[in-house]
Chains A and B, each alone.
Chain A
């Protein structure tokens, strides 16, 4: 990997360069303590010290709602929506970058999803280092550091950022703007390492993941599922804010002429009753207990060898019933 340093005073110029690639989205403060990736026009709109956004960056690739195609029954034809344009997503944390890699494993497998793949390939991801709060446990999940899955990754140091170059696209940007970037000095590297050390020490929440898949398997009938299901509202918020939840439902909308319309997909939630329901009324996950257990199992299930939970903490932060993923897992393990 190649490393550079981007001095603080060059950050504004760097932002302008990003605007040259495509629309820039960054973490914007939208409420007292809530952040969202929004389209931004200047660096001042962005808060790169944010802890987490409510909705993860998956929204750029797997849209909350999107048209698969428009159809016309009369003419027997359908058409796909035009390709998405290039997007720059500035300030993505390591957990979210690792989450996108998990989604890649699903949406860009041997039968790749065209919409996801096109957007993923035309996106430019700039990662940023972060400081964990009391809900973060990515370190336990092995996702606190992104080894790849980004174009550039910025690690804050006192005089700016240590920049890791993660792709050819990232390299091209650095190469075409040599005046903004310099080679890291020994003290920059030393500071980068010290910052990483401090960051890892800052994690308060920990989850023991040793053999966790088996722990869940053997706990299939554990009372913890019923206990937690009694607290759970079954609202599906955890699915919406989860950076690796990717279930979708499909709906056809028909126009007033009853001949044309569109097929649309939208985010779905495994916590909702309909998720396991088949025609005829049989439900394979009939109660909240089965649905909750399924969600936890899915999150520690392996996707290409990595756990599907990246420890971002969103599900616990935004759960209206205050259910903590780590706490439930610890009960399952018999550690709480």
Chain B
């Protein structure tokens, strides 16, 4: 059944869920088919097509490092038909998985360098995978700087995890910066009072006022809403970053995940890319050469 068929999904049971915000749910899954699990090797930045039978499939990025071959963590925002259906499921229910798809972040290539992770909102999900991967292999990476932009305190994902990094990350050579947009947010304001060197009110690019980012031996990794990329890139280019050392991961409509259904196509005749297959991780250099990418 489903042999050699790239469109056949594999069942995964929901082990644990946590409502991190009113619209975002953290879901831990266990792949039922252990043979499939063996081949299910993924790296940060890759995604899976998550399906609910009778509703459909949606591309969701994997948000954690691979701990055990049959485990998978996702962060799902309730925003469309499929993701609403996913939110209605409970522990013990089945989701149907295809993947992993996409190129993912070049973790090996970034070894020996400092990492600058810039995330906006839900964009923190794939970057959490990068962060965990690097922390699990701590000696292979240099300083890790995280800039996380949120709307307000209640919209902050993995709050305990990241607040822990905010306060204690430095011990592990991790600097965590936080920006928040809602100026009336009390909890965020308190964080700012406590650590005005690490927290600022405004959009995520304001964090460049707090941290003197240097391009030397540093890879920048960005993920956030589409509007965010050009502003973050602007800040990085001002600081003379190499466009090939700025990585970003993109969102598009995707039905297949393997470069067939055509929805995620970007670029011009000169340079056509499928975000699902050639990406979703691209460098800023790719974006400069592929019109319509960001």
Contacts and interface: CB of A to CB of B under 8 A. Distances in A.
A263 B268 CA distance: 32
Contact of A279 (B8, B58, B260, B292): B58
A298 B267 CA distance: 8
A297 B6 contact: no
Contact of B259 (A109, A216, A275): A109
A292 to B, nearest CB: 13
Contact of A112 (B6, B54, B272): B6
Contacts of B263: 247, 268, 275-276
A246 B5 contact: no
Given A114-B7, A247-B261, A268-B263, A216 B270 contact: yes
Nearest to B291: A220
A282 interface: yes
Interface residues of B, number: 42
Interface residues of A, number: 53
A78 B263 CA distance: 26
A289 to B, nearest CB: 12
Given A106-B259, A114-B6, A282-B226, A258 B265 contact: no
B269 interface: yes
B288 interface: no
- Chain B interface helix/strand/loop/mixed: loop
A107 B4 contact: no
Contact of A216 (B11, B55, B261, B268): B268
Interface string B1-34: 1101111100100000000000000000000000
A80 B8 contact: yes
Interface string B259-293: 11111011111111000000000000000000110
A302 B11 CA distance: 37
Contacts of B261: 247-250, 265, 268
Interface in B181-205: none
Contacts of A298: 262, 265, 269, 272
Contact of B1 (A80, A113, A220, A261): A80
B94 interface: yes
Interface in B62-102: 79-83, 94
17 contacts: A69-B8, A78-B1, A80-B2, A106-B260, A113-B7, A213-B268, A217-B269, A247-B263, A248-B255, A248-B261, A249-B261, A250-B261, A276-B263, A278-B253, A282-B226, A298-B262, A302-B272
Interface of A: 68-69, 71, 73, 76-80, 106-107, 109, 111-114, 212-214, 216-217, 220, 246-252, 254, 258, 261, 263, 265, 268, 270, 275-280, 282, 284, 290, 294, 296-302
